[in-house]
């Protein structure tokens, strides 16, 4: 058989008839009820004119402080193919009554047209990393036909935008869902309609708005309400809220799969040892089989997270071998564990120091996990810049003060605290050393990220040091990371 004949006999795929463009003017008009000014095709979608790429569709959304229509010209200048607007413009556009509603309508059509297995991910800690790992595994096994929400696009704007970006040819879609208040995930999961819903863990993030961990668990469990019939719920077996989550999941899921160290876990950790090149070598029991794989990301929390990834990939019909390879290659994300080697004089004479960027988010659980990771990192000196943990309400002072023990356990040599909320920890560290604290840890308490950077420069990071920078995003420690990363060696 010659090559031409082989091409003719190539099997027809169900999505062969799907268009190559992400959206056409006609499809957008049909989805939104809008009126197109011209015929066009869009290759992507965005809501920020600074992120627009060639051929994108720009949504001119109206926010509380800003109207996206102000940035339409900038988006077109950057190469946008067209814009979704509520008033006529000179460039190609689709005219709609409400641009935010149009985005949601387009998201619903995108979800309906793709014959894809959909995975939704939420949790107090680790949801972005788990989402990225699941995507990496499914993208590898589907040869590039997986889709996911980028960055932390997990709210009432980010989720519909992520859906609107999903190609009709996608075979898998992985979407992160976040919340600050009860009811928010219920609305998001109704849009996503996952076949697999994952909760990574429950911790006191956003406790200021919800009042208790039980309420946080209930709010996260809303993700199960959007499950497609026969869908799979994946929950943390080690959580004190396991029974609560399981009860909520069983109301909507065809199957509930737990992961963790607990003896009742369906995907159960059997062993984890340090891997030769860093990270961990993990052995897990899945009931009908045992698997062994490497997790490149350091830290005990990533060992447990990897079990959630394996459970989700299997539930979605993905390839476990590809999942193992993805976990072995997964690098830290910007603001969430990314590691930099920066130039540093003195010290051990190596000329470099390790910078761990955890500047995007912080809550009591993630702080403890990251401090433990720093404590396990070989270093001449361990240095930490810790910013305030936000949205803890009246619980804030006690949660900040309780960081004294994990700081001592991590054997941190120098500490820089940033933000007013860190006063409670400063007071705790300032007490006479006791059995819990051990030796006194020298620290500076700074009001702003800029002050912390100045104090850190005066202190002087040296060769062989390991430097952790972690805090809630609003503290602004990303600027400290950016300044130090310029010294990358």
Q: Tens place of pLDDT for every residue, the chain, 489 residues? A: 566 565 556 555 555 555 569 999 999 999 999 999 999 999 999 999 999 999 999 999 998 888 999 999 999 999 999 999 999 999 999 999 999 999 999 999 999 999 999 999 999 988 999 999 999 999 999 999 999 998 779 999 999 999 999 999 999 999 999 998 999 999 999 999 999 999 999 988 777 777 899 999 999 999 999 999 999 999 999 999 999 999 999 999 999 999 999 999 999 999 999 888 778 999 999 999 999 999 998 888 999 999 999 999 999 999 999 999 999 998 777 888 888 999 999 999 999 999 999 998 888 988 998 999 899 899 999 999 999 999 898 989 999 999 999 999 999 999 999 999 999 999 999 875 554 445 789 999 999 999 999 999 999 999 999 999 999 999 999 999 999 988 665
* 134 φ, ψ (degrees, to nearest 5): -60, -45
pLDDT for 190: 98
Query: Would the CA dihedral through 396, 398, 404, 409 be positive or negative?
Result: negative
Scanning 182-319, the segments in alpha helix (DSSP H) are: 184-192, 207-210, 213-220, 242-250, 300-315
Ordered by where they begin, the domains of the chain are 23-97 (3.40.1390.10), 114-329 (3.40.1190.10), 338-485 (3.90.190.20)
- Cα–Cα distances in Å, from 328 out to 317, 342, 356? 20, 24, 19
Can you say how many angstroms the Cα of residue 129 is from the centroid of all Cα atoms in its chain?
A: 5
Query: What distance lies between CA 155 and its chain's CA centroid?
Result: 12
Q: How far is CA 154 from CA 50, 54, 113, in A?
A: 19, 24, 21
Would you state the structure tokens that stand for residue 159, as one six-digit string?
A: 């989720």
Each as own residue / partner, the long-range contacts of residues 267-271 (CB below 8 Å, 24 or more positions apart, any chain) are: 267/307, 267/308, 267/310, 267/311, 268/237, 268/307, 269/303, 269/304, 269/307
pLDDT of residue 431: 77
Please tell me the predicted confidence (pLDDT) of residue 331: 79
pLDDT of 160:
97
């Amino acid at each position: 058989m010659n090559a031409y004949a082989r091409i003719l006999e190539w099997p027809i795929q169900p999505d062969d008839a799907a268009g190559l463009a992400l959206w056409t003017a006609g499809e957008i008009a049909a989805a939104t009820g809008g009126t197109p000014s011209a015929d066009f095709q869009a290759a992507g979608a965005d809501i920020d004119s600074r992120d627009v790429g060639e051929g994108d569709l720009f949504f001119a959304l109206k926010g509380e402080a800003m109207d996206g229509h102000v940035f339409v010209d900038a988006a077109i200048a950057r190469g946008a193919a067209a814009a979704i607007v509520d008033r006529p413009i000179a460039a190609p556009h689709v005219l709609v009554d409400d641009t935010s509603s149009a985005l949601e309508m387009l998201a619903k059509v995108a979800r309906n047209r793709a014959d894809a297995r959909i995975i939704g991910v939420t949790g107090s800690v680790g949801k972005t990393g788990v989402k990225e790992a699941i995507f990496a595994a499914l993208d590898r096994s589907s040869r590039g036909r997986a889709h996911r929400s980028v960055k932390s696009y997990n709210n009432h704007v980010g989720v519909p935008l992520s859906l609107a970006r999903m190609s009709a040819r996608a075979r898998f879609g992985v979407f992160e869902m976040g919340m600050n208040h009860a009811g928010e995930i219920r609305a998001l999961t109704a849009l996503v309609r996952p076949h697999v819903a994952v909760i990574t863990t429950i911790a006191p993030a956003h406790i200021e708005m919800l009042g208790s961990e039980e309420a946080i668990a209930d709010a996260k469990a809303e993700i199960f309400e959007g499950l497609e019939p026969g869908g799979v719920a994946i929950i943390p077996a080690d959580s004190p809220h396991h029974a609560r989550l399981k009860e909520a999941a069983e109301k909507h899921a065809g199957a509930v799969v737990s992961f963790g160290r607990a003896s009742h876990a369906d995907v159960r950790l059997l062993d984890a040892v340090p891997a030769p090149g860093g990270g961990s070598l993990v052995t897990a029991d899945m009931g009908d089989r045992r698997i062994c794989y490497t997790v490149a990301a350091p830290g005990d929390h990533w060992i447990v997270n990897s079990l959630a990834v394996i459970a989700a990939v299997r539930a979605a019909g993905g390839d476990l071998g590809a999942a193992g390879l993805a976990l072995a290659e997964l690098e830290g994300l910007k603001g969430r564990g990314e590691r930099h080697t920066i130039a540093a004089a003195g010290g051990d004479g190596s000329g470099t120091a390790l910078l761990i960027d955890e500047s995007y988010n912080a809550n009591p659980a993630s702080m403890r996990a990251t401090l433990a990771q720093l404590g396990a990192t070989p270093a001449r000196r361990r240095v930490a810049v810790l910013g305030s943990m936000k949205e803890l309400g009246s619980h804030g002072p006690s949660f900040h003060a309780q960081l004294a023990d994990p700081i001592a356990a991590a054997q941190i040599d120098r500490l820089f605290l940033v933000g007013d909320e860190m006063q409670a920890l400063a007071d705790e560290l300032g007490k006479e050393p006791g059995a819990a604290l051990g030796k006194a840890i020298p620290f500076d308490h700074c009001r702003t990220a800029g002050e912390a950077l100045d104090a850190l420069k005066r202190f002087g990071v040296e060769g062989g040091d390991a430097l952790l920078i972690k805090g809630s995003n609003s503290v602004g420690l990303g600027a400290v990371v950016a300044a130090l990363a310029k010294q990358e060696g």
